[in-house]
Amino acid sequence: MAQTLLQVEDLHTQFFTSRGVVRAVDGVTFHVDAGETLGVVGESGCGKTITALSILRLVPDPGRITSGRILFRGKDVTKMTDEEIRDFRGNDVAMIFQDPMTSLNPVTKVGMQIEEAMTAHERFTEKVARPRVIELLKRVRVPAAESRVKDYPHQFSGGMRQRAMIAMGLSNEPDLLIADEPTTALDVTVQAQIIQLMKQLNRELNTAMMLITHNMALVASLCQRIIVMYAGRIVEEGPVEQIFRSPQHPYTWSLLRSVPRVDEARKDRLVSIKGMPPDLSHPPPGCKFHPRCPFVIDKCKVDPEPQLEEVGVDQVARCWVLMRNVKEESTEVAKQSALSKEAAEKLKAPVGELGAGEVGAGEVGRGAGG
Amino acid sequence: MQAAERAPLAGSRTDPVLVRVSGVYKHFPVGGFGGLAVRAVDGVDLEIRRGETLGLVGESGCGKSTLARLITGLLPVTAGSIVFDGQDVTRIRGARLRRVRRRMQMIFQDPFASLDPRMTVGDILQEPLDNFSIGTLRERRKRVQELLRLVGLNPNFTNRYPHEFSGGQRQRIGIARALSVNPSFIVCDEPVSALDVSIQAQIINLLQDLQREFQLTYLFIAHDLAVVRHLSDRIAVMYLGKVVETADRNDIYDKPQHPYTKALLSSIPVPDPMVEKGRAPITLKGEIPSPVNPPSGCRFHPRCPIARVPGVCSEVEPPLEPHGAVDQVAACHFAGQF
């Protein structure tokens, strides 16, 4: 039985803006076991990044953790003193951000920055840290690490920078690595290199990983368990194979079917989720997904939001309908065309052209040749 | 004179090829001594057939966006010809060029940067109609409303500004603008990569519906091969300013002939954990070299898993030749031999 490393209980993080209170994270409960990789998926603005920042207590103003507990090895992060939290960040948990360009200091050498991350926590003396930098860069497979430590970030390519960021994250041997869209800014071939690197590191060092992404394929290749977030809430959670095989929440189902697969020939239209994510300062009543849900029933609009309920082994979902109760025919609704036929017909009608003297001379128009 | 110029145009109506790119080069001088230049597009031959979607893929910096800008005439070519429906757009000027340009439109990657923030949506959509003097003012206004309705936006939004719309809605406006002048050919340059997952599907479906409705020909550029395969009939792969392989979208996936294509395809994770378990991606060493000083011989040889170096790969540049399936071409000395 794996040991629980991180336990988040009923976390609420809210932003107090002039437009009202934005409930960015609205009662989120989950855990990360030692050595496991957990995927957190959802659209921009669903609260996945704020959840991660809350764990590190790095929520930017005007945001605040308003309630809930974040237990790391039984110790509540929300109650840590400033001293303790500094020690916790970097030593126990490290975070890799999306954009490797803006997260490195442009005027400090890469090696220096990694060294700084180590010595800042007084875990390593300068003497020990310096040779370790090269070792770390080698571990994340930066070629010619001995000479590259003296380079500045701008001399590194995007993929190399992301490797340096990962090296920095690993420098203090954290138990949990939070990676926020680590490959989004990178090219596919470089993305594949980084994915392999992260897989290897997870295996070699047994570092637990929390991968935040909107890329379903990335989750499929890296994670064991998955959490789907929508509008600040967890809507579904379970083992990755199970969620991919039989998603129960319509949102999870739509997300999975809204991306084409490279290994499949064009068979089907993509499921498109209509509309946009809700404004979190004024979320809709009932189930927060109901305005966009293709399988909505009256209960979803009126009743209070459903609870997370067991829908399979280790799988929970927050839905009144559940995909297992949706007939195959009804799923076609989600693939329908949004194109206005009427408008298309009107646009096809020829339009008279003015100023023919300017463009008309010596021309053969589209209809004129036939 | 005029009749002679018109002749190929009349003949081209039966030509299945709408756009023919032959030997196109685009070099950007980098200044300094020695005449160094970024060889962004370095000898490209490509055909885009009527009514098809040609997908163009490759890593950033491979020259795919530059090629798109050359085809639509937004950039002048250094050498080569681009024949659109019988007319070489690199040679014609003035009114004739304008006339051709009206038939080719472009949809850009960044819906935040490609719409003028100080123009209302109505003005943005009406501008191409004004430019090409299409219809009366009343007809243009009416058309703008129909365009908005067509792409699923409220036709009464004409007085709003771009910042009032979300990314997906802005991309719809960009699409409506491209459609306003009834084009037959649209270049889509990474139209969904700046959008959220759920919104991407909306735009992909919309593009497919529009193609069917208006018999459009697309050049679809993206680095997301899954999206490209979903939308395209044929796919061309670019590497460092050159096309290295072109084939039907199924053939290119089932039996890629160029090792770069194979590596590119295998590096894309599949959204299915069961499939992912059994997959072993070919990870390429290193990154794309500088287009200022491309490698000798085959440009891919320093990263190629099957290259014979020193040998033919580092010495002779392989030509684009038929390999594998019907209608499949690849530029590799050892095509399919892996």
- For the CA atoms of B116, B162, B72, B246, the dihedral, rounded to the nearest 10 degrees, stands at 140
The CB-side HSE value for B11 (13 A sphere, CA atoms) comes to 8
The 3-state DSSP class for residue B188 equals strand
Distance (Å, whole) CA B101 – CA B84: 10
B286 and B325 share one domain: yes
Domain tally, chain B: 2
Which of A17-26, A191-200, B215-224 is the least confident region?
Answer: A191-200
Question: pLDDT over 90 for what percent of chain A?
Answer: 45
**Partner-chain residue, chosen from A192, A340, A363, that has the shortest CB–CB distance to B281:** A192
Mean pLDDT of A196-200: 84
Mean pLDDT of A332-359: 67
The confidence score (pLDDT) of residue A352 equals 57
- Give me the residue from B13, B134, B201 closest to A351, CB to CB: B134
Residues B194 and B51 in one domain: yes
Which pLDDT tens digit goes with each residue over A277-309? Answer: 888 888 899 999 999 998 999 999 999 999 999
Residue B238, in any domain of the structure: no
For A134, A136, B65, B219, B237, the CA distances from B77, given in Å and listed in that order, are 46, 46, 13, 18, 20
Q: What is the pLDDT of residue B293?
A: 87
Alpha carbon distance A289, A295 (integer Å): 10
B95, B134, B202 ranked by CB distance to A272: nearest = B202
In angstroms and rounded to an integer, the radius of gyration of the C-alpha atoms of chain A is: 25
Residue A180, strand partner residues? A212
Q: Across the interface, do A43 and B198 touch by the CB < 8 Å criterion?
A: yes
Task: Output the pLDDT for position A170.
Answer: 84
At residue A1, the pLDDT reads: 52
User: Is residue B104 assigned to a domain?
Assistant: yes
CA dist A210 and A215 (Å) reads 14
For the segment A138-146, the average pLDDT, to the nearest whole number, is: 82
Interface contacts (A, B; CB < 8 Å): 214
The distance of B123 to chain A (nearest Cα, Å) reads 18
pLDDT tens digits, B169-184: 999 999 999 999 999 9
Are B310 and B193 in the same domain? no
Q: How far is B176 from chain A (nearest CA, A)?
A: 11
pLDDT tens for residues B73-110?
889 999 999 999 999 999 988 888 888 988 999 999 88
CB–CB contact A261 B272 (8 Å): yes
Decide if A189 and B250 are in contact by the 8 Å CB cutoff: no
Quote the domain boundaries for residue B335: 245-338
Render pLDDT for B277-320 as a digit per residue (tens, 0 to 9).
877 778 787 777 888 888 999 999 999 999 888 889 999 999 99
Please answer yes or no on whether A191 and B265 come within 8 Å at the CB atom: no
Q: Which of the residues B65, B230, B262 would you substitute to probe the A interface, choosing the one with the greatest number of A C-beta atoms within 10 Å? A: B230
The reply to whether B237 falls in a domain is no
Taking contacts as CB-CB distances below 8 angstroms, the residues of chain B near A356 are: 133
Give the pLDDT band (50/70/90) at residue A103. Answer: confident
Helix or strand or coil: residue A77? helix
Which ipTM value was assigned to this complex? 0.81
Structure tokens at A187: 């090219």
CA–CA dist A280, A198 (Å, integer): 33
Determine the residue type at B54: L
| Closest CB from A159, A189, A359 relative to B133 | A359
pLDDT at A36: 93
- In this structure, the answer to whether residues B260 and B181 fall within a common structural domain is no
Domain of B77, CATH number, reads 3.40.50.300
Q: Does the beta-carbon distance from B204 to A244 stay under 8 Å?
A: no
Residue B302 to residues A137, B244, B286, B310, B314: CA-CA distances in angstroms?
A: 22, 15, 9, 11, 8
Statement: residue A364 has pLDDT above 50:
no
Are residues B249 and B110 both part of a single domain? no
Could you tell me if B187 and B277 lie in one domain? no
For residue B123, the model assigns a pLDDT of: 94
Residue A361 pLDDT class (50, 70, 90 cuts): very low
- Final residue of a domain: which of B180, B209, B232? B232
Structure tokens at A355: 């100023």
Q: What is the mean pLDDT of residues A95-117?
A: 86
> Are B193 and B266 in a shared domain?
no
Of B173, B200, B232, the one marking the end of a domain is B232
Q: Is residue B23 part of a domain?
A: yes
User: What DSSP line would sit under A305-341, residue for residue?
Assistant: PPPPEEEETTEEE--SS-GGGS-GGGGGGGG-----H
Residues B216 and B264 in one domain: no
Residue with tokens 């959670």: A237
Test B60 with A364 for CB contact under 8 angstroms: no
User: Looking at CA atoms only, how far is residue A100 from chain B in angstroms?
Assistant: 16
B274 domain-assigned = yes
Task: Please report whether residue B204 resides in a domain.
Answer: yes
DSSP state of B337: -
pLDDT digits (tens, 9 = 90+) for B30-77: 877 777 888 999 999 999 999 999 999 988 888 999 999 999 988 999
Tokens (6 digits) for B181? 């002048």
Task: Tell me, yes or no, whether B289 lies in a domain.
Answer: yes
Q: In the prediction, which pLDDT does B189 show? A: 92
Give the per-residue pLDDT at A367. Answer: 38
Interface probe for A, chosen from B1, B84, B185, B198 (most Cβ of A below 10 Å), is B198
Q: B49 and B75 share a domain?
A: yes
Same structural domain for residues B126 and B48? yes
Which chain B residues are within 8 Å of A192, Cβ to Cβ?
A: 266-269, 281, 283-284
B175 and B202 co-located in one domain: yes
Residue scoring higher pLDDT (A138 or B241): B241
Contact across the interface for B269 and A217, Cβ inside 8 Å: yes
**Claim to verify: residue B220 and residue B314 sit in the same structural domain:** no
Query: Would you say residue A346 has pLDDT above 50?
Result: yes
- Looking at B171, B197, B232, the residue that finishes a domain is B232
Least confident of A32-41, A125-134, A352-361: A352-361
Query: Residue A57 — pLDDT band, cuts 50, 70, 90?
Result: very high
- Chain B residues whose CB is inside 8 A of the A265 CB are 229, 249-250, 253
